[in-house]
Amino acid sequence: MKPVDHAWRVLQARAEAQLRGDFADRVVRSSRGPQPETWQHLQAVAAARLRPGFAARVLRAARQIPGVPSLLDQFALCAVTALLCVVAVVFVHSRGVRNESERNLAGWEQLADDIQEIDQF
């Protein structure tokens, strides 16, 4: 098995043969992502800008926030939301069925009236 760098070089050579200019080099370089040295440099810069104990202070402050919902609170909210959705669906359905029944009944009454008129002649 050939090393990864060799495979990248072969891929880059084939891409350069088919595309113009430095396009292939830019695409292959961006697909590989930042080098490990770049990540180490970014981590060092970020660490230099943060005071010691920053993560512990953030976690401690987050735990002391009042009113943070617990798992039980979230479950209760989900249950209430589901119940409201079911009630809304039942209400809309029953209202639609009632309106449809009233329209059908009115149509049948009109038909019955028309039949009685014809029957009287």
Q: Which two tokens stand for residue 36?
A: 């490990």
Dump pLDDT digits (tens) for 28-60: 777 777 788 888 998 899 888 988 899 899 989
Q: What is the DSSP string of 33-95?
A: -S-HHHHHHHHHHHHHHSPTTHHHHHHHHHHT-TT---HHHHHHHHHHHHHHHHHHHHHHHHH
Instruction: Phi first, then psi: give them for residue 3, nearest 5 degrees.
Output: -65, 160
Contact indicator for 8, 28 with CB cutoff of 8 Å: yes
Place of tokens 């953030």: 58
Three-state DSSP class for 3? coil
The pLDDT of residue 14 is 81
pTM of the prediction?
0.39
